[in-house]
Amino acid sequence: MVKKILSCDWGTSSFRLRLINVADKSVLGETTSGDGIAVVHNNWLQSDHVKNERIGFYTDILLSQIEKLDKHYLAGIPMIISGMASSSIGITELPYGDIPFRMNSTRLNVQRIVPGGKYPHEILLVSGLKAKDDVMRGEETMLLGCEISEEGEQLIIFPGTHSKHVLVKDNLLVDFKTFMTGEVFDLLSNKSILSGSVKINEWLAHQNIFEKGLLEGAENNLLNAIFHVRTSHLFKSLNPEENYHFLSGILIGSELKRIAGTKIKILLVCGQPLYERYWRGLQLLCGKENLQYQDADKSLIAGHCKLATQFL
C-alpha cells in the first residue's frame, strides 16, 4: 500500500491539492487555486494544442500546482483526482457509475493515467455516479469517506452550488437529488432585479432574519417568496444587509422543505462557510435528535485514502 498520495479536488471553478499521509490521513502540504476545470478547458480550447495533447495540457497545470507544495520528495507519489476532472471538460471524460452503489465496493469508474514525459506521477482519475435523471461528480468520493451506519436509512446532505441530497439504505446508495441552491442565490443576488435589494455581509448579526427567510421558503411558493426580498426593500422593512440573509434563508428553506419533519437520520457534510446556515435550517425544520455533522475536507481526504488502499 502506498504511504503518501497527492489528493486533488478539481471542481468547475476551484482547485485544491494536498499531500496526504495515508496511514493517519494527515495533511503534509496544501495549495489552492482559482484554476478550475472550466478555466483550464477554455484555455486549452484557445491554445494551439491539438486534441490528442489534451492530457498533457492538463498535467502541465497539475505540475505547476505540485511545485507550489515546495516538497522535493514528491516524484513518483501517485495522485488521486475527483470532481470535474473526469467530465467532458476535464482531463478525459469517464462514464458515470450507476446506482444503487455499495459504499464499500470498488464499483466507481476509475482510470489510470501512467506517468509520461515530464509528468512523474501516476494519476487515478475518479468518475461520478448517475441516477435516472441526476448526476454527481465529486460527492461520491466524499461519501466514501463519510461515517455512515451499515444498517438503516440515512440522508446525507452536501450543500453547495449544486446541493446534493443522497439517500443511503443499509450502506447502499439508492437515490440522490440535486438542488441548484447556491447557483440560484448567485444569479438572484447578482443578476436579477433583486440585486439592488441585497448586500453581502456576515450573517452573525442577522440570524433571526435568516430564520424568517428559511420559514418563508419552507412554507411559501418559491417564486412568490423571492419577490418578498424586493418588497421588503421597497417598504423598508428590511435593509439590503438583512435582505441578503433573508434571500439565503428562502432558498435554503425551499431546498429543505421536502424533508421538514422527517425522522430520518441526517448527516450534513460541508465546510464552515455553509455549516451555520444549513445546521440551523435542519434544526428548525427537522429537529436536533437525528442530526450529525462531518467536515467536507476530512470526508474527501478519507475517501481518497480509501481509494488509495483499493486501487494503488
pLDDT tens track of the chain, all 312 residues? Answer: 899 999 999 999 899 999 999 999 999 999 999 999 999 999 998 887 666 588 999 999 999 999 998 766 788 899 999 999 999 999 999 999 999 999 876 789 999 999 987 889 999 999 999 999 999 999 999 999 998 888 899 999 999 999 999 999 999 999 999 999 999 999 999 999 999 999 999 888 899 999 999 999 999 999 999 999 999 999 999 999 999 999 999 999 999 999 999 989 999 999 988 999 999 999 999 999 999 999 999 999 999 999 999 998
Q: Which residues pair with 4 in a beta bridge?
A: 21
| Angle between helix 240-256 and 272-286 (nearest 10) | 60
pLDDT score of 44: 92
Whether the full predicted model's pTM is greater than 0.85, yes or no, is yes
pLDDT score of 265: 95
pLDDT score of 1: 80
Would you report the helix, strand and coil content of the chain in percent, each value rounded to 5? 40, 25, 35
Class of domain 179-294 (CATH, top level): alpha beta
Per CATH, which fold does 4-137 belong to?
Nucleotidyltransferase; domain 5 (3.30.420)
Strand 153-158 and strand 26-33: the pairing is: unpaired
Q: List phi, psi (to 5°) of 236.
A: 60, 30
- Exposure string (b/e) for 51-76, b if CB count within 10 Å is 16 or more? eeebbeebbebbeebbeebeeeebee
Which of 31, 36, 30, 301 shows the shortest CA–CA distance to 161? 36
Angle at 249 between CA 270 and CA 236, to 5 degrees: 145
pLDDT score of 98: 94
The per-residue pLDDT for range 258-269, each reduced to its tens digit, is 999 998 999 999
Q: Which helix (H) or strand (E) holds 30?
A: strand 26-33
Site of grid cell 470526508: 299
pLDDT score of 199: 97
Q: List phi, psi (to 5°) of 150.
A: -75, -10
Asked if the domains 4-137 and 179-294 are classified in one and the same CATH topology, the answer is: yes
Long-range contacts for 228-233 (Cβ within 8 Å, ≥24 apart)?
Answer: 229/188, 229/194, 229/197, 229/198, 230/193, 230/194, 230/197, 232/197, 233/196, 233/197
Characterise 160 by phi-psi region: left (phi > 0), alpha (psi -120 to 50), beta (else): left
pLDDT score of 50: 65
Q: List phi, psi (to 5°) of 219.
A: -110, -25
* DSSP, res 116: B
Q: List phi, psi (to 5°) of 180.
A: -85, 45
The per-residue pLDDT for range 244-289, each reduced to its tens digit, is 999 999 999 999 999 999 989 999 999 988 999 999 999 999 999 9
pLDDT score of 149: 81
The residues spanned by each domain of the chain are 4-137, 179-294
* DSSP, res 127: -
Q: Which residues pair with 32 in a beta bridge?
A: 16
